[in-house]
Amino acid sequence: MTEPDRTGDLPDDHKARMTDLEDRIARAKGDAGKAGSSDGGSHFGSAEMGWRMVTELVAGLLVGFAIGYGLDWVFGIAPFMMILFTLLGFAAGIKVMLGTARDMTKEPPAAGPAGKETRDKDGSGY
């Protein structure tokens, strides 16, 4: 899509200044896109992944606690199931956290023919 010529009614001096301004704006937009994706974006991405891992751990603990508490209430054997399932929830949270950390270190999948993802040997796509 081409942009309309907005310099039709301007004197030559103004046309040159307008063209120069448009070029500087285009360069600034290009530099801003590069800067946002390099250093600043990686810090935000790391914080986002850190919070994701903390949330996964806490969710595992809470789900394990809730299941254990429910089973203790049903069977009347408190606190044995609550302790067992809280530990199982903690282990599940750690397992999910390690999977997230592993995904962080992997390279994104390469685009195959027709824009489709290529798959690794394990079929995960990463």
Asked if residue 102 is part of any domain, the answer here is yes
Query: Is 49 a member of any domain?
Result: yes
Distance separating alpha carbons of residues 51 and 49, to the nearest angstrom? 5
pLDDT over 80 at 24, yes or no: yes
Range of the structural domain that residue 30 is part of: 12-106
pLDDT the model gives residue 83: 95
Within 10 angstroms of residue 26's Cβ, the number of other Cβ atoms is 10
Give a yes or no: residue 118 inside a domain.
no
Provide CB contacts within 8 A for 17, sequence distance 6+.
Answer: none
Considering its fold, how many domains does the chain have in total? 1
Q: Residue 103: is its pLDDT beyond 60?
A: yes
> Residues near 91 by Cβ (< 8 Å), separated by ≥ 6?
60
Candidate from 6-15, 25-34, 75-84, 87-96 with smallest mean pLDDT: 6-15
Query: How does residue 67 score in pLDDT terms, banded at 50, 70 and 90?
Result: very high
Q: What average pLDDT does the segment 21-46 reach?
A: 72
79 preceded by a cis bond (ω within 30 of 0)? yes
Mean local confidence (pLDDT), 88-98: 95
Question: Does some domain include residue 3?
Answer: no
